[in-house]
């Protein structure tokens, strides 16, 4: 049974078996009982996931053709495929679960925010992204690529950049390098006034990242609070903890 690559869905399928095994090996660095693969495509990683002992596996795949191909090629997947966009999917399991995927590049950031919606249940994420997106997720204060997604993700997950994945590992090869990251929940939750305030502050701060924080977030704080020297800095200089602490002083 044949399948096609759909550019509209951001599809670039892994065909390098060594790389597939390397990604699955990264997954096995922590215990896994319930596992959801996002965007399995033609099953390059899936076939290895199916071999993991004592793991309950589900797949999320929107593409009709790929669902048909997977069920034809791997009949054991019957009843394990959630046939819709991950962005529309409810929580795939009760209780804790792990997420893995060669995430479609055109919605990869949205997938991270979906994981944040599930954060109380997600025990780990092994995800492949465009390298620049992966680096942004893992970036720390002072980095040129440290931004909104870095802060909002790392408030809840430790992010570790694991390894590069060259274009030649895919069909069709993307025009950019890819990278795999591991996300694991932070051990100590960061104290903030509310998640909504935190998001508003971080997005406002980085919306004008070249300006002093004072100018970027002026509407969110009183004139008195804005006198604090911390507002002399730019957004990219603040740690996640500093952003969280500032939420308690917002209007």
Q: Point out the annotated binding site.
A: 12, 14, 39, 61, 102
Pairing of strands 13-14, 157-165: unpaired
Report d(CA 175, CA 2) in Å as an integer.
24
Report d(CA 3, CA 165) in Å as an integer.
23
Token couple for 73: 């090629």
Interior angle at CA 130, CA 126 and CA 136, nearest 5: 80
Question: Residues 86, 111: contact at Cβ < 8 Å?
Answer: yes
Report d(CA 20, CA 47) in Å as an integer.
10
- DSSP lists the bridge partners of residue 55 as none
Neighbours of 12 (CB within 10 A): 24
Binding site listing for S-adenosyl-L-methionine: 12, 14, 39, 61, 102
For tokens 């305030």, what's the residue? 197
Cα 62 to chain centroid distance, Å, stands at: 18
């Amino acid at each position: 049974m044949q399948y096609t690559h759909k550019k509209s869905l951001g599809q670039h399928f892994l065909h390098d078996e060594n790389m597939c095994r390397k990604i699955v090996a990264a997954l096995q660095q922590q215990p896994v009982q319930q596992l959801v693969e996002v965007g399995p495509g033609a099953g390059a990683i899936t076939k290895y996931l199916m071999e993991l002992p004592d793991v309950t596996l589900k797949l999320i795949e929107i593409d009709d053709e790929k669902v048909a191909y997977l069920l034809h090629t791997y009949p054991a997947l019957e009843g394990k495929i959630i046939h819709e966009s991950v962005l529309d999917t409810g929580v795939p399991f009760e209780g804790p679960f792990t997420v893995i995927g060669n995430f479609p590049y055109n919605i990869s950031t949205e997938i991270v925010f979906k994981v944040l919606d599930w954060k109380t249940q997600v025990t780990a994420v092994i995800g492949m992204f465009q390298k620049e997106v992966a680096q942004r997720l893992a970036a720390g204060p002072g980095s040129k690529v440290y931004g909104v997604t870095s802060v909002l993700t790392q408030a809840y997950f430790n992010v570790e950049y694991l390894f590069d994945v060259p274009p030649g590992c895919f069909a069709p090869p993307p025009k950019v390098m890819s990278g795999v990251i591991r996300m694991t929940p932070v051990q100590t939750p960061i104290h903030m006034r509310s998640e909504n305030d935190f998001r508003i502050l971080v997005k406002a701060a980085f919306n004008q990242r070249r300006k002093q924080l004072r100018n970027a977030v002026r509407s969110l704080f009183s004139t008195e609070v804005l006198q604090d020297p911390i507002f002399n800095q730019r957004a990219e200089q603040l740690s996640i903890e500093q952003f969280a602490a500032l939420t308690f002083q917002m209007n």
